[in-house]
Chain A
Amino acid sequence: MAPETSSGSPQRWSVAQIHALAPDPASQKAGTKLAAPGPWSGTGTSPAENLLWGDCKGSGSKPYQVTVELSAPAFACSCPSRKFPCKHALGLLLLWSAGTVGDTDTLPQRVEEWLSGRRERAEKTEARKAAAAEKAAEIASDPEAARKAAQAAEKRTAQRAGRIDAGFEELELWLADQLRGGLSGLRGAGYKPLDGLARRLVDAQAPGVAARVKDLAPALSATDWPDHTLRGFAQLNLLAQGWHHRAQLPAPLAATVSRRVGLAPSTEEIAASGEQVADRWLVLGMRDDTPDKLVERRVWLRGESTGRLALLLAFAPQGQSPGLALPVGSTLHARLAFAPDAAPLRAIVLEQGELLPSSPTAPAPSGETLEAAAGAYAAAVAADPWTATVPALLESAVPILDKEWRLLDAKGSLSVPLIRPSSGETAMALGTARQDPDIPKSAYALLAAAAGRPAPVFGVYSLAGFAPVTVWTAEGPVSLA
Chain B
Amino acid sequence: MTTWNELVSAALVGTERHALVPDPALAEADPARALLKQAMLLAVPALTGAPPAPHEGALPEPAPTDDRPLIPSSGRLRLRAVLDVHPKYLPEWLAATRASGCRLPLAALPPLLDAGRNSVALRNDLAEVLGAPGHWLARQNPDWRYLLREPFGPLRPEDWDGPDPDARIAYVNGLYAADPAAARALLQAAWPTQTAAQKMSLLAVVTRHAAAADLDFVRTLSKDSSKQVRDEAKSIEGQITWREDQAEDFTTKIRELIDVDGIGNSVYHFAVRRPEPIWPLDGCRLLLAALVVTGRGGGAPHWAAQHLIGLLADRAPTDLLPEARTVAQTIAAETAAGTEHRLDFDPLATQLGFRADLHAELTASASAAAESGQE
Q: Taking beta carbons and an 8 Å cutoff, which residues of A are in contact with B?
A: 15, 28-30, 32-33, 35-39, 57, 98, 172, 175-177, 179-185, 226-227, 229-231, 233-235, 237-238, 241, 370-371, 374, 377-378, 381-382, 385, 387, 398-402, 406, 408-410, 412-416, 431, 440-441, 444-445, 447-454, 462-464, 473, 475, 478
Residues of chain B from 49 to 83 with CB closer than 8 A to chain A in the complex? 49-57, 59-63, 70, 73-74, 77, 80-81
Chain B contacts of A28 at CB under 8 A?
Answer: 84
- Contact partner of B51 (CB less than 8 A), chosen from A176, A235, A374, is A374
**Nearest chain A residue, comparing its CB with the CB of B15:** A180
Q: Which of B62, B105, B346 touches A453 (beta carbons < 8 Å)?
A: B62
Instruction: Count B-side interface residues using an 8 Å CB cutoff.
Output: 66
B-side contacts of A29, CB under 8 Å: 84-85
Q: How far is the CA of A57 from the CA of B349 in the complex (A)?
A: 12
Q: Pick the residue among A32, A237, A371, A440 that contacts B40 (CB under 8 A).
A: A237
Residues of B within 8 A of A374 (CB): 51-52
CB-defined contacts of B346 to chain A, threshold 8 Å = 38-39, 57
Task: Tell me whether A230 and B7 are in contact (CB under 8 A).
Answer: yes
Using A176-B36, A184-B12 as known contacts, say yes or no to A33 and B81 having CB atoms under 8 A apart.
Answer: yes
Asked whether, in the complex, the Cβ of A33 is within 8 Å of the Cβ of B59, the reply is: no
Q: Top 5 nearest A-B pairs by Cβ distance?
A: A182-B14, A234-B43, A414-B52, A451-B63, A449-B107
Question: Quick one: closest A residue to B351, CB to CB?
Answer: A38
Q: Which of B139-184 contact A (CB under 8 A)?
A: 140-141
Contact A452 B61 (CB under 8 A): yes
29 intermolecular pairs with C-beta atoms under 8 Å apart: A30-B85, A32-B85, A36-B353, A36-B354, A38-B346, A176-B30, A179-B32, A179-B36, A183-B14, A184-B12, A226-B11, A226-B12, A227-B46, A230-B11, A231-B47, A234-B46, A235-B43, A235-B47, A382-B44, A387-B47, A413-B55, A414-B54, A415-B53, A416-B53, A444-B137, A445-B110, A447-B140, A451-B133, A475-B107
Provide the residues of chain B in CB contact with A454, threshold 8 Å.
Answer: 59
Taken together as a complex, chains A and B put the C-alpha atoms of A475 and B102 apart, in Å, by 15
Contact in complex: A226, B84 (CB < 8 Å):
no
User: B residues within 8 A CB of A371?
Assistant: 52
The verdict on B25 contacting chain A, using a C-beta distance below 8 Å, is: no
Question: Would you give the shortest CB distance from B154 to chain A, in whole angstroms?
Answer: 24
Docked-complex contact B46 and A378, CB < 8 angstroms: no
User: Given contacts A183-B12, A473-B107, A475-B105, are A451 and B62 in contact (CB under 8 A)?
Assistant: yes
In the assembled complex, the Cα of A410 lies from the Cα of B55 at a distance in Å of 9
Assess whether B84 is in contact with A451, with CB atoms less than 8 Å apart.
no
Query: Chain B residue with minimal CB distance to A224?
Result: B8
* CA distance in complex: A57, B335 (Å): 14
Contacts A32-B77, A234-B39 given: A478-B107 contact, CB under 8 Å? yes
Instruction: Give chain A residues whose Cβ lies under 8 Å from the Cβ of B232.
Output: none
Asked if B350 CB lies within 8 Å of chain A CBs, one says yes
Which A residue's beta carbon lies closest to that of B10?
Answer: A179
- Is B260 located at the chain interface by the 8 A CB criterion? no
Do A452 and B70 contact each other (CB < 8 Å), given the known contacts A179-B35, A371-B52? Answer: no
> Are A414 and B53 in contact, with the CB atoms below 8 A?
yes
CB distance from B45 to the nearest CB of A (A): 9
Count chain A CB atoms within 10 A of each CB in B35, B84, B106, B110 and give the residue with the most.
Answer: B106
Whole-angstrom CA separation of A182 from B32 in the bound complex:
10
User: Does B274 touch A at the CB level, under 8 Å?
Assistant: no
Residues of chain B lying within 8 A (CB to CB) of residue A183: 11-12, 14
Distance in angstroms from B41 CB to nearest chain A CB is 8
Chain B residues with Cβ under 8 A from A447's Cβ?
60, 137, 140
Per-residue CB proximity of B235-260 to A under 8 Å, as 1/0? 00000000000000000000000000
Chain B residues touching A, majority SS: helix
A445, B15: Cβ atoms closer than 8 Å = no
Contact pick for A38, options B13, B52, B349, CB 8 Å:
B349
Query: Which B residues touch A408, using CB under 8 A?
Result: 55, 59
Q: How far is the CA of A57 from the CA of B350 in the complex (A)?
A: 11
How far, in whole Å, are A237 and B353 apart by their CA atoms in the complex?
63
Q: What residue in chain B is nearest A442 (Cβ atoms)?
A: B110
Judge whether B37 is part of the interface by a CB distance below 8 angstroms: yes
A175 to B38, CA, bound (A): 13
Which residue of B30, B36, B53 has the most chain A CB atoms within 10 A of its CB atom? B36
Q: Is the CB of A39 within 8 A of B43?
A: no
In the complex where A398-B60, A408-B55 touch, is A377 in contact with B12 (Cβ < 8 A)? Answer: no
B136 near A452: Cβ-Cβ < 8 Å: yes
Cβ of A452 and Cβ of B141 under 8 Å apart? Answer: no
Q: How far is the CA of A449 from the CA of B11 in the complex (A)?
A: 45
Choose one: A57, A175, A415; the contact of B55 (CB below 8 Å). A415
How near does chain A come to B128, taking the closest CB pair, in angstroms? 18
CB-based contact B63/A452 at 8 Å: yes
**Closest chain B residue to A373 by CB distance?**
B52
Residues on A with beta carbons closer than 8 Å to the beta carbon of B140: 401, 444, 447
| A235: B residues at CB distance < 8 A | 43, 47
- Check if B48 is an interface residue, CB within 8 A of chain A: yes
Contact A180-B42, Cβ < 8 Å, known A381-B47, A402-B57: no
A238→B37 CA distance, assembly (Å):
8
| Contact present for A377 and B48 (CB under 8 Å) | yes
Asked if B11 contacts A182 (CB within 8 A), the reply is yes
A197 to B258, CA, bound (A): 72
Residue B269 CB within 8 A of the other chain:
no
* B282 proximal to A (CB < 8 A): no
Decide: A398 and B16 in contact? CB cutoff 8 A. Answer: no
A451 CA to B35 CA in the complex, in Å? 50
| B39 engages A233 (CB within 8 Å) | yes
